[in-house]
Amino acid sequence: MAVSFTTLQIYDQYLTTYRSRDHENNNRNRKVNKRSTRYDTHNQSELQNVYSAIQWKNRFAPLYLTEPSPKSIAFAVHLKESAQNLKQTINSLSGDDNDLFSMKTAYSDNEALATVEYVPEEADGDVPSNFALEVESFASPQINTGKYMNASQQTQLKPDSYSFDILTNKLHYELQFNINEGETNHDLQSKLSRLINSSDIGVSAKVVEKDGLSALELTSDAYGLPFQNARHFTVNDDKTSYRNGVVDYLGLNDTIKEASNAVYSINGNEESSYSNAFPVHGAYHVTLHPENGTGTADIGLYADAESLSHNIETFVDGYNHFLSGVLTDIPDDKEKEKGDDLSLTRLLSKDMTKFLDLHRESLEKYGITVNEDASLDYEVPETIGDTDALKGFGNHIMRKLTSISLDPMEYIDRRICAYPNPFTSYINPYMTSIYTGMLYNAYT
């Protein structure tokens, strides 16, 4: 398919929407895998299989007549993405041998200090089952805090065009602005804060206030000691294009808190990091939380039974999010009638209930209960025998999710217009969209 400017715009909107959505969802639930993994990419043969599946489906599927509303179109797109996200969640619970639900899970006995993820494919040789972490200090950025000035007082700088320079990573940025008659110190500080933040130069700014006074505070995006330079950024207006004086007036070089590295010990061996997130033995990815202060933590791997329980809980949470969260980000339609949301999810709930009924008995052995609305509940069982039935269910639901993501339009009410001729093998005369398996009148 030729890529046009319109196609690129659609791709950009599509990726931007779901990338930010996933990030927000992951921040709300740390059990969901937050890092990019090998399951986020696909090789050529996998993509060829998807393309072949689309062709095969179009060859034998009837032609449907649809008049979908914007809300139902959004539902289909979100359903497709939700199915893909759940597939990635299930895949992330696989061990090195791609054995479903066999992923080992790491723990931290002090999550206020440090949380941890276990990524076995990045291991450096033999990985210990546990280690002791002691944090002495955290990585911090460079912070320049200006003078605290009377916020409501009129600025003493004359109205004119001004500029100053910020040098970061050997790159030179000149920021230009005007000071107008009657501007207060707070007005000037707010203007420069917006200018710096919108420039995206590796430095952020904000106005800090206390007791009627305000100051402009600049913070480097980078943490830890600089690799080469003494500081992450410097501010001056010695050789600027327009009028100078604003750097001294605001005191942007008066109080500087230097950046620092995180200093910590692993089993008594002191180490340091430019960031508050770092690997240990490759496989453990530790994230420190400076807001809770220093301390110690014992980090390691759960026993197999506890890891399995955690994997099942993660799957149940991911599945319930897939089932109930598919309408979360769909804009409300002011003209919608009551019950529209239920009508959109009716076919999905009915289909998933039918699917889960086939596995209800085997799931109950692992503490998973199937509810009437097709959602799942989980309660840790006293004992778990072999996991063959669970792995079999995992393979079946993966195939089900692949089918849903291939053609989410199956879950939109539609009328059959014509059946294909059973004596011919040509593909139906309509094409799938760039969203893979979906065709909308609105895009044609």
In 10 A of CB 164, how many CB atoms? 24
pLDDT tens for each residue of 105-141: 899 999 999 999 988 888 888 889 999 999 999 999 9
Asked whether residue 132 falls in the same domain as residue 271, the answer is yes
Specify which residues 7 forms β-bridges with.
none
pLDDT of residue 48: 79
pLDDT at 345 over 90: no
Asked whether residue 295 falls in the same domain as residue 323, the answer is no
In total, how many domains does the chain have? 3
Structure tokens at 45: 């043969």
pLDDT of residue 347: 85
Confidence of residue 328 (pLDDT cuts 50, 70, 90): low
Nearest to 232 by CA among 137, 147, 140, 164: 140
Confidence of residue 356 (pLDDT cuts 50, 70, 90): very high
pLDDT at 440 over 50: no
Helix axes 340-357, 70-92, angle to 10 degrees: 30
pLDDT of residue 441: 39
pLDDT tens for each residue of 158-190: 999 999 999 987 788 999 999 999 999 999 999
pLDDT of residue 327: 58
Q: How many Cα atoms within 13 Å fall on the side-chain side of residue 354?
A: 7
How far apart CA 251 and CA 215 sit, in angstroms, is 9
Mean pLDDT of 41-49: 73
pLDDT exceeding 70 applies to what percent of the chain? 78
Asked whether residue 216 falls in the same domain as residue 321, the answer is no
How far apart CA 266 and CA 268 sit, in angstroms, is 5
Which residue did the predictor score with more confidence, 344 or 182?
182
pLDDT of residue 1: 43
Q: Are the beta carbons of 114 and 299 closer than 8 angstroms?
A: yes
How far apart CA 321 and CA 85 sit, in angstroms, is 10
How far apart CA 383 and CA 380 sit, in angstroms, is 9
Please report, for residues 48, 100, 398, the alpha-carbon distance to residue 45 in angstroms, rounded to integers and kept in the order given. Answer: 5, 21, 18
pLDDT of residue 106: 92
Q: Are the beta carbons of 265 and 136 closer than 8 angstroms?
A: yes
Please report, for residues 66, 82, 389, the alpha-carbon distance to residue 368 in angstroms, rounded to integers and kept in the order given. Answer: 37, 21, 12
Prediction pTM value: 0.67
How far apart CA 149 and CA 264 sit, in angstroms, is 39
pLDDT of residue 256: 93
Asked whether residue 98 falls in the same domain as residue 115, the answer is no
Residues 90-110 as b or e (16 or more Cβ within 10 Å = b):
bbbbbeeeeebbbbbbbbbeb
pLDDT of residue 15: 54
Q: Are the beta carbons of 195 and 218 closer than 8 angstroms?
A: no
How far apart CA 159 and CA 183 sit, in angstroms, is 9
Helix%, strand%, coil% for the chain, nearest 5: 35, 25, 40
Nearest to 136 by CA among 300, 276, 279, 283: 276
How far apart CA 60 and CA 250 sit, in angstroms, is 72
Asked whether residue 220 falls in the same domain as residue 271, the answer is no
pLDDT of residue 69: 76
Mean pLDDT of 44-55: 76
Structure tokens at 130: 């546990």
How far apart CA 79 and CA 435 sit, in angstroms, is 12
In 10 A of CB 331, how many CB atoms? 8
* Phi and psi, residue 244, nearest 5°: -105, 180
pLDDT tens for each residue of 67-117: 777 777 788 888 888 898 899 888 888 765 567 788 888 999 999 999 999
Give the dihedral of Cα atoms 216, 219, 221, 224; nearest 10 deg.
Answer: 180
pLDDT of residue 49: 79
Host domain of residue 146 = 141-257
Give the dihedral of Cα atoms 309, 310, 314, 319; nearest 10 deg.
Answer: 0
Q: Are the beta carbons of 107 and 297 closer than 8 angstroms?
A: no
pLDDT at 340 over 80: no
Q: Are the beta carbons of 179 and 159 closer than 8 angstroms?
A: yes
pLDDT at 442 over 90: no
pLDDT tens for each residue of 204-230: 999 999 988 999 999 999 999 987 768
pLDDT of residue 226: 87
Q: Are the beta carbons of 439 and 431 closer than 8 angstroms?
A: yes
Asked whether residue 315 falls in the same domain as residue 335, the answer is yes
pLDDT tens for each residue of 292-303: 899 999 999 988
Asked whether residue 248 falls in the same domain as residue 317, the answer is no
pLDDT at 65 over 70: yes
pLDDT of residue 177: 95
Confidence of residue 331 (pLDDT cuts 50, 70, 90): low
Q: What is the mean pLDDT of the chain?
A: 81
Asked whether residue 124 falls in the same domain as residue 201, the answer is no
Asked whether residue 207 falls in the same domain as residue 327, the answer is no
pLDDT of residue 27: 42
Asked whether residue 44 falls in the same domain as residue 145, the answer is no
User: How is 209-277 classified by DSSP, letter by letter?
Assistant: EETTEEEEEEEEEEESS-SSSSSSEEEE-TT-SSB--HHHHHTTTTEEE--B-EEEEETTEEEEESSSE
Q: How many Cα atoms within 13 Å fall on the side-chain side of residue 393?
A: 21
Q: Where is mean pLDDT largest: 96-100, 323-327, 370-374?
A: 370-374
pLDDT tens for each residue of 14-34: 555 554 444 444 443 434 344
CATH code of the domain covering residue 219: 2.60.40
Asked whether residue 295 falls in the same domain as residue 378, the answer is no
pLDDT tens for each residue of 389-427: 888 898 999 999 988 888 888 888 777 777 766 676 665
Asked whether residue 18 falls in the same domain as residue 54, the answer is yes
pLDDT exceeding 90 applies to what percent of the chain? 45
| Of 241-250, 320-329, 399-408, 429-438, the least confident | 429-438
Q: Are the beta carbons of 432 and 52 closer than 8 angstroms?
A: no
